[in-house]
Structure 1
Amino acid sequence: MPPPPNDWRIVVPVKDQAHAKSRLHPPDGVERAALAHAFALDTLSAVFATLPPAHVVVVSSDAAIRTFAEGRGARVEADPAAGLNLALRQGLRRIAEEPFSGGTGLLLGDLPALRPEDLEQALVECAKHPRSVVPDATGEGTVLLAAQRRGDLEPRFGPGSARAHAERAHRLELALPRLRTDVDDDEGLTAASTLGLGPHTRGVLAGRR
């Protein structure tokens, strides 16, 4: 039987904000690090509203993100600072330490338009397949990689990752633009803004710290 949404374990990697989003050019008066931090907070808030926080592993060495995640009951692992895929594998190792029968997902941490209902719907669809991949809005990258069995995940994030993941996973072209819009550059921020940003990102863009 497929795992219901609240039986999933999710790994969310969050890069140290001081070194994040180098291709993003925020509006005047908005710091890039503050904006990247807000993206992560909005993503994690949506995840915590979908799953029990104890089912979430956040991989990050950013002190503010670690404090936010731990304060809500999530588990936190230090980022080995050796790239996204190794960070995700670090989170998977943490999940492997506990017995459970649900699914496992790897979710990007820069989805500021994400809402809980988007993630829940995606997990319902992912649960219909042994392994699944949800590509980003361009169709090239990956926003969510999932498997019903935790040992079935092999993260291959990077350029062309959707195609690489689809070699072993069912590709899901879900009509969930808020899930599929990750923000790496100005174009991504414009698209996410059109869909509706989360409160942390809206606050930073409005000049509130």
Structure 2
Amino acid sequence: MGFSLSTGGRAVEAGTGECENSRTMATANHSAPRQCWHVVVPIKDTRLGKSRLAPAGVERTRLSRAIAEDTLAAVTQAVGPGQVWLVTSDEGLASRWLARGVHVVGDPGTGLNAAIAAGLDRVPLGSPRAVLLGDLPSLTGVDLVAALDAGGDGAEWFVPDLDGSGTVLRAGRSFVPRFGPGSADAHAAQGARRLELDLPRLRRDVDDPGSLAAAVQLGVGPATSAALQLAGAERSSALDG
């Protein structure tokens, strides 16, 4: 990869200074979580992601990037950039968020759970940690804070997607990620508590035109909204031409 990672090696012992600085930044718009959470966000190279969105008539790379941007913006609003660990092979995305204070970890390229494990491996030892999927364009910082506070850091827990079979958020001090098809059952089988939270903006992941339409009904972030508006303008221009 052509960018410089913000950290190297394995995790170190947790310190309080960086956490307090990040929490101060997070409270600019709303309350920070009660605990000092580190959040790992795996995001596939946006040139390769969201292949099932192509039928929606939206340029796929642009939309994938916009969804990632809105998700990361919500996470940094919730916990502060210094508590966010972006795992990706997307150099453009990595460079932008590294400049904003987010930690960047290179994606090893061996699947989603391997990418998540690479990010978890860099989180300071003993810290509350969570994994959030990167395809949540409706997510707000307030909703993520609510979920983190509802779960707490005393036990393992997860939040399923709105369909009930997948997982959008997995948390605990030490756990093995089991994301992918049927991940809700897989995480429950590990003993993690299932939280059916009334937070549709958190639980609405986007994989296809139907879920994208549902996210739009909930409201999406500015990057996703702009990408969809541009796609609409391009379609209108093509029809007029």
Q: TM-score, length-normalised on structure 1? A: 0.91
Structure 2 counterpart of 1:46: 74
- 1:163-197 C-alpha deviation (Å, 9 max, x unpaired): 11012200000000000000011111011000001
Aligned partners of 1:26 and 1:32 also within 8 Å: no
- Describe the SS at the equivalent of 1:24: helix
Q: In the TM superposition, what whole-angstrom CA distance separates every residue of 1:22-48 from its partner, at most 9, and x where no partner exists?
A: 1113544x3101101000000000001
The structural deviation recorded for 1:4 is: 4.3
Contact 1:6 1:52 (8 Å CA) reproduced = no
Deviation, 1:102, is: 3.7
How far apart, CA to CA, are the structure 1 residues paired with 2:114 and 2:127?
23
The residue number in structure 2 matching 1:132 is 157
Q: Which runs of 4+ in 1 moved over 6 A?
A: none
Match of 1:153 in 2: 175
Find the aligned partners of 2:158 and 2:78 in 1 and give their Cα distance. Answer: 19
What corresponds to 1:110 in structure 2? 135
Check conservation: 1:129, 1:170, Cα contact below 8 A. no
SS in 1 for 2:122: helix
1:86 aligns with 2:77: no
- C-alpha distance in structure 2 between counterparts of 1:26 and 1:36, whole Å: 14
Aligned length: 200
* Kept in 2: contact 1:15–1:60 (CA 8 A): yes
Identical pairs, percent:
48
Hey, what does 1:188 align to over in structure 2? 211
Cα distance in 1, alignment partners of residues 35 and 155 from structure 2: 17
Counterpart-to-counterpart distance in 1, 2:209 and 2:135: 13
- Deviation digits for residues 38-66 of structure 1 (CA, Å, limit 9, x no counterpart): 00000000001011211110000101210
Structure with higher Rg: it is 2
Which runs of 5 or more residues in structure 1 are unaligned?
A: none
Residue equivalent to 1:166:
188
- Distance across 1 between alignment mates of 2:132 and 2:55: 24
SS at match of 2:139: coil
Measure, in 1, the Cα distance between the counterparts of 2:96 and 2:34. Answer: 23
- Alignment-mate amino acid for residue 103 of structure 1: P
Distance 1:56 1:65, change over 3 A: same
* Cα offsets for 1:109-140 (capped at 9, x unmatched): 00000001100000001106500010001000
